[in-house]
Amino acid sequence: MQTESVLSLSLDNLRASRAPLFHQYPRQTNPQGAFVELSETGEVSADWNGEIGNGVPAAVWHGCDLRFPVACSVAGPALADYLEGEEGRSLLSRIHQGHSVEWDGSNHVGRLDEDASAAREELEAALREVEQADVQRIQDWIGSLPWFDTWPEADNLRQAVEGLERVAHQDGTTLNGDLEAYLLDQAMERHLREERLSPHQLEALQKAGKV
């Protein structure tokens, strides 16, 4: 069955933050893969893969829905601009127009004609060139900042987290990790070394059940 070339773009999530497709599960060493998806019916979206190990749904495995990889740290607004722009739309339209889904005796399987295959190669090459956001691990971004600059004595835990988030936003940086957990862990390490903590920091450790 040959598809029609009408596309429906659903990309609002790409403008929600600088790196909306970046996600790393706790205790995982690498972030999840990210992709642009073109469904069999012409819906265009972008997301990160929720499956650890980056497994894919059957419709993607069999080529009924198509996924094109993007860097997990891709700048969301830049990706949206490209996909909504003339070049991105044209390539997606060519792929969709040349995409068919047929029964092979066991499964519905997607196939691309020659022009759609060429357009796919062009699109995947273009997606590799889309601007990436600055994503840093919390410990790398904070670096050697003194403790009481990281968590000011006058701030409770929520205020300290919000302050660091504001600075990261001003820097144009997306932080990879849980700021609250990071601050609590650092405070606990200081406590175990018998280094001075502020009353707010001790209170936060107590509320977290760490002391």
Q: Please give the residue range of the domain that contains residue 169.
A: 134-207
Last residue of a domain, one of 102, 127, 152: 127
Q: What are 42's two structure tokens?
A: 């012409």
Query: What six digits make up the tokens of 209?
Result: 């059940």
66 and 49, same domain (yes or no): yes
Q: Are residues 105 and 148 in the same domain?
A: no
| DSSP secondary structure letter of residue 209 | T
pLDDT on residue 117: 98
- Looking at residue 54, what is its pLDDT? 82
2 falls within a domain: no
Does 1 reside within a domain? no
pLDDT confidence of residue 5? 60
Two structure tokens written together for 105: 């005796």
Residues 119, 15: one domain? yes
pLDDT of residue 26: 85
List per-residue pLDDT tens for the chain, 211 residues long: 444 468 999 999 999 999 999 999 988 989 999 999 999 999 999 999 999 888 899 999 999 999 999 999 999 999 999 999 999 999 999 999 999 999 988 899 999 999 999 999 999 999 999 999 999 999 999 999 999 999 999 999 999 999 999 999 999 999 999 999 999 999 999 999 999 999 999 999 999 999 8
Of 72, 94, 127, the position where a domain reaches its end is 127
Residues 144 and 192 in one domain: yes
- What is the structure's pLDDT at 3? 44
pTM attached to this predicted model: 0.86
Q: Residues 77, 172: one domain?
A: no
Residues 178 and 115 in one domain: no
Q: In whole angstroms, what is the distance from residue 35 CA to residue 51 CA?
A: 13
Question: How many structural domains does the chain have?
Answer: 2
Q: Is residue 181 domain-resident?
A: yes
Are 121 and 189 members of one domain? no
Residues contacting residue 157 through CB under 8 Å, at least 6 positions apart? 151, 180, 183, 184, 200, 201, 204
- Whether residue 123 is contained in a domain is answered as yes
Contacts 24+ apart (CB under 8 A), 136-143: 136/173, 136/174, 136/175, 136/176, 137/175, 137/176, 137/177, 138/175, 138/176, 138/177, 138/178, 138/179, 138/182, 139/177, 139/182, 141/168, 141/171, 141/173, 141/175
DSSP classification of residue 19: S
